[in-house]
Amino acid sequence: MAKFNLNINGEDKTVDVDPSTPLLWVLRDHLNLVGTKYGCGIAQCGACTVHFNGSAVRSCQLPVSSLEGSKIRTIEGLSENGDHPVQQAWLEIDVPQCGYCQAGQIMSASALLESNPNPSDEEIENAMNGNICRCGTYSRIKAAIKAASKSQIA
């Protein structure tokens, strides 16, 4: 075990865990931030996506020991009241069905829009390709990203 200082959603946190613990389990088991989901454990499904210094990463493959000095943002910290343009577009277009993969989808989508405010269809498909949704909400994900992009630009 070792102590790690983390900056999560703008707050400084200290956790005492094994250095190899993936960020996903630090979030879920030690900080009770369960919005980030466990889907596969091998970075193949995207359910655990968070922002690492603004980029979308898979937290199930990110050891806590690699995080000192970086800024982590999870679904809980994306917006104050759940009103980030991506979250609003998600609601309006009724993207979530079972909802389990959606935190990961939203974190991938919001990271995409931060780096590319007006993505093309192809750019959306490529950026979102690593986030699996078994309910099959893909066409709505595309539509919602476009809607969020428009509302952000406007």
Partner 1 sequence: MKTIKASGIGNPIDRIEGHLKVTGKAKYASEFPVENMVYAQGVNSTIAKGKITSIDTSEAEKLDGVLAVITYKNAEKLKNYPKDMTNFSLTTVAPVFQDRQVHYYGQYIACVIAETFEQAQYACRLVKVTYEEESPDIHLDKNRGKAYKPGDSADFSRGDMDAGMREADVTLEQTYTTPIEHQQPMELHAAIVNWNDGKVKMYANQQILNQATTSISETFGIPKEDVQIITPYIGGGFGSKLNVYKHITMATMASKMIGRPVQITVTRHQMFTNTGMRQFDEQEMRLGAIKDGSLTALAHHTTSHTAKNLQYFEACGNVSKMLYKTPNNAVTHRLIPLNIQCPSSMRAPGEATGSFALESAIDELAWKLKMDPIDFRIKNDTQVDMGADKPFSSRLLVECLRIGADKFGWENRKMQPGTNKKGNWLIGYGVSAASRRAPYMKTSAKIVLELNEAALNANIKMDATDIGTGTYTIVAQTVSEYLGIPVENVKVEIGDSEFPVTPGSGGSWGAASYCNGARKACENAIAELKKKQNITESEEIEVAELLQQNNLTTFEAEGTAEPSEEYKKHSVFSFGANFTEVWVDKDTGMYRIKRMVNVGSAGKILNPKTAYGQIIGGLTMGAGMVIAERTQVEPNYGNFITRTLADYHVPVNLDLANIDVVFLPEEDKIANEMGVKGIGELGITSVAASIANAIFNATGKRMRDLPITPEKLIEAGLEPGVA
Residue 13: which of 34, 27, 28 has the closest Cα? 27
The binder of partner 1 chosen from 15, 67, 72, 128 (CB under 8 A): 128
Q: Of residues 26, 133, 147, 148, which one binds partner 1 by CB under 8 A?
A: 133
Query: C-alpha angle 81/105/50, rounded to 5°?
Result: 75
The C-alpha atoms of residue 56 and residue 116 are separated, in whole angstroms, by 13
SS3 helix, strand, coil % of the chain, rounded to 5?
40, 20, 40
- Kindly state whether residue 152 participates in binding partner 1, applying the rule CB under 8 A: no
Asked if residue 2 binds partner 1 (CB under 8 A), the reply is no
Q: How far is the CB of 60 from partner 1 (least distance, A)?
A: 11
> Which DSSP helix (H) or strand (E) runs through 123?
helix 121-128
Report if residue 50 touches partner 1, rule: CB under 8 A: no
Name the one range near partner 1 by CB under 8 A: 8-16, 33-41, 51-59, 111-119.
Answer: 33-41
- Beta-bridge partners for 56: 51
Residues that bind partner 1 (CB under 8 A): 18, 21, 25, 28-29, 32-42, 44-45, 47, 74-76, 78, 82, 87, 90-92, 94-103, 106, 124-126, 128-142
